[in-house]
Structure 1
């Protein structure tokens, strides 16, 4: 490709990156445009977290061998490019002498490899922040030219800046959401919560002021209903603004259980160091699980287990209450349970229940980490 064509391609990619607001469509679109504008025929992108765990987040025009079984050979195993990135030795666009992932796919004869045997790689970064790597390849090519690697670096620079922009945008959106939750929680506390509290005081006074038993009974009913509504309102305020989360996940969960008048025992194994999104998801799941115990289990004792392994977070909530008929082929029996599953699945995790009438319930959460 000549210099003018390269400039045009980079301009088109820049325009696409500037328009996109969602990460995966942006990566796939930029990769597709790059492949169509160059001699490269296939490409894939790994995100690599601080622990060195890689995740295949985008790919375009893979060979039959590399796309086999949902990209099995790209998702598993080791390779030079990921190792060099983890060790902070991958600084610029480079030729790969060998790729274990490609070699394994070819050796196992799982499909046509379309002449793809070697690839070029480049880190995706912005300033001091590192996000992952971009790999591209073309058939029957062992080494890529300096011009090709220079163009690849230019695209990687654009991608790194766009990735950081989207991350920053997401952070701003999360901060705005927290701010709005705080406002709603404050409004509920200052208005509806105070009104309900006033009704409980009024009904209590009514009980003391009348001698008629029917009126006393009516005031007691009003007081009990209002007290139940007040408890629900306080729980809702907690869900909007989780007081205590700044002091740690466990303290926040224990405080919430105490507010619901539940006796909670927490067992922790491993170091609790989560990204904010994971921490809030666990807190919301715990809230919903404790609400279910209070409303349906018929017991006040709950046990919770949090285990952190090298790859997963295991989160278990257990009670010895009434239990329920748990049919995996049927829809979940409550909106709260569906909410738990939706929250966990948003983090690529799983949520399951083990329950039997009269023998309690266990909520089992697994989130990749």
Structure 2
């Protein structure tokens, strides 16, 4: 190499290095460097391919392309394949090499796409940073079919500079992305904290979480997949900047295996395009899965035993900021878990408030109405005794009225005591069956209880069954015309079944006394439905009446 050629090479490298430090914008930097490189080397055309880990490529910069490669918004540079990209994918491209000819230009000549400016060959140089392969730099000139070793060495030195600058910019952009995501995390957490008290249940909470994520982040697809009793369903989703209602809630067996993999990993996992498609297609008007090359999913452990949620997001492109999104998704999962725990505490506080109000109401009824009814009963009994001492009792019209007043006041007193007992339950500490048996005894009924299966019941379900059992026993006392009842509780891994049976009137004889639309029956059905269960009443004039309540149970961890 002559001294003049060496000086020219040093000048080229110096100019390229200075150009690389003028911007932190990757596209602007590549466009500027590519133009400067062609100017200094006397070449006329060049382009840069960025190639991902999955082999996907994109032409991120070009300069001086012939018209044949510019047709239809540079379609030849976006579609198809060529020898240099194939060699890169196969790992056979380590250094700057001469390519015999360009397949894209060959296709342009064959299909008559336009003028190629007599370019037939190009040199290919891999872009790398350390051991990390980033893409390809291709340069060419009309009629040039060969590059000397010194030209290839210069191109390779420039490629090293470009690769290092690209990695520096990627790291800089990743840190900017990470900082921006964490700022959004703070805004999301504040918004979520302000809405927790407005959530009525877990489904409402899921919808608000997904809606806030769609508002604060630029992910095109967000969904919350919940696991209950071993099965998964899309609980809430947000696409195209708006909340969506899942049309098909349950995931397929393949989708469930993806979710279990995420749960077992205990951290955010990368989802492939087919995996993210499994969730996105379950939602109304979901984004085109082809627009989501990758996805992320993070497990969210919930406070309820056996229940877990998975937060799933789809990424708009396979960018270099995947790690930043992954870290923030892990942090989001922790924040959402804490919010879910706060919701549980809010529900518990509401329940305690309701219990306290019921206790206050029970005390007020006991101290006021209950005492008045008791005094009325005693007064009526005294008046009845005074009239009984009269010689003209049979002529006195008030005697029979006093007897009716005493009977009605005693019945009202009994009803009031039952109402107070319902408002302020006692005895659940000893178990549901013991409490119902004791309550039935207090109502003058002989109750036989039976239980099959062994497992603990959540407090809300136990109290719900207690209320339903109370109302069923009240109906037996009022309408069945019998003094005995049977209660069966069947417990399994998935459900609790409460059956209250009597051998009373039933059928048509009871239809007038307790119509299907009666308040008591409506209350029992509403309580069962509020727990996610169902209530069935079967009544026959020969066999009596049977009330069966089926309540699903959460998975109980061993």
Once the 2 structures are TM-superposed, how far is the Cα of residue 347 of structure 1 from its aligned partner?
1.3
| Cα distance in 2 between the residues matched to 1:77 and 1:13 | 28
What's the offset of the Cα at 1:122?
Answer: 1.6
Counterpart check, 1:29 vs 2:208? yes
Report whether the alignment pairs 1:239 with 2:422: yes
Structure 1 residue runs of 5 or longer lacking an equivalent are none
Residue in structure 2 matching 1:135, options 312, 315, 329: 312
Counterparts in 2 of 1:306 and 1:101: CA distance versus 1, 3 Å: farther
Deviation at 1:282, TM superposition (A): 0.4
Aligned to 1:124: 300
Uncovered stretches (5+) of structure 2, i.e. residues with no partner:
1-175, 554-558
Check whether the contact 1:304–1:318 (CA below 8 A) recurs between aligned residues: yes
Alpha-carbon distance in structure 1 between the residues aligned to 2:417 and 2:446: 18
1:347 is aligned, of 531, 542, 546, to 531
Aligned length: 355
Q: 1:117 to 1:205 in 2, by over 3 A?
A: farther
2:342 is equivalent to residue 165 of structure 1:
yes
Q: CA deviation at 1:332?
A: 3.0
SS state at 1:151 partner: helix
- Counterparts of residues 88-103 of structure 1 (less than 5 Å): 89-96=264-271
Q: Does 1:40 align with 2:219?
A: yes
Report the equivalent of 1:258. 441
Q: Please identify the structure whose Cα radius of gyration is greater.
A: 2
- SS, match of residue 10 in structure 1: helix
Task: Give the whole-Å Cα distance in 2 for the aligned partners of 1:100 and 1:45.
Answer: 15
Answer yes or no: is the 8 Å Cα contact 2:233–2:249 preserved in 1.
no
Q: CA 1:277–1:127 in 2, change beyond 3 Å: closer, same or farther?
A: closer
The Cα offsets for residues 158-198 of structure 1, whole Å up to 9 and x where unpaired, read as 21121111111111111111111111111211222122122
Residues 77 and 101, structure 1, Cα contact 8 Å, conserved in 2: no
Q: Is the 8 A contact 2:507 2:541 kept in 1?
A: yes
- Aligned-CA RMSD value: 3.6
Displacement of 1:17: 0.5
The DSSP-based 3-state class of the residue aligned with 2:438 is helix
Q: 1:75 to 1:355 in 2, by over 3 A?
A: farther
Instruction: Point out which structure has higher relative CO (alpha carbons under 8 A, 6+ apart).
Output: 1
Give the one of 156, 161, 175 matched to 2:333: 156
Q: CA distance change for structure 1 residues 103 and 159 in 2, over 3 Å: closer, same or farther?
A: closer
**2:379 is aligned with 1:202:** yes
Q: How does 1:1-369 map to 2 (within 5 A)?
A: 2-20=177-195, 21-22=198-199, 23-35=202-214, 37-38=216-217, 40-48=219-227, 56-61=234-239, 70-73=248-251, 78-82=256-260, 85=263, 89-96=264-271, 114-115=289-290, 119-125=295-301, 132-138=309-315, 145-210=322-387, 211=389, 212-213=393-394, 214=396, 215-324=398-507, 332-369=516-553
Question: How far 1:118 sits from its partner (Å)?
Answer: 6.6
- Cα 1:95–1:197 shift into 2, 3 Å: same
CA offsets, 1:237-266, max 9 Å, x none?
A: 011001112222112111111111112111
Contact map agreement 1:298 1:321 (CA 8 A) in 2 = yes
Inter-partner Cα distance in structure 2 for 1:240 and 1:296: 22
Distance, in Å, in 1 between the alignment partners of 2:534 and 2:470 is 17
Q: Residues of 1 paired with 2:334 and 2:384: CA distance?
A: 73
Task: State the TM-score, normalizing by the size of structure 2.
Answer: 0.56
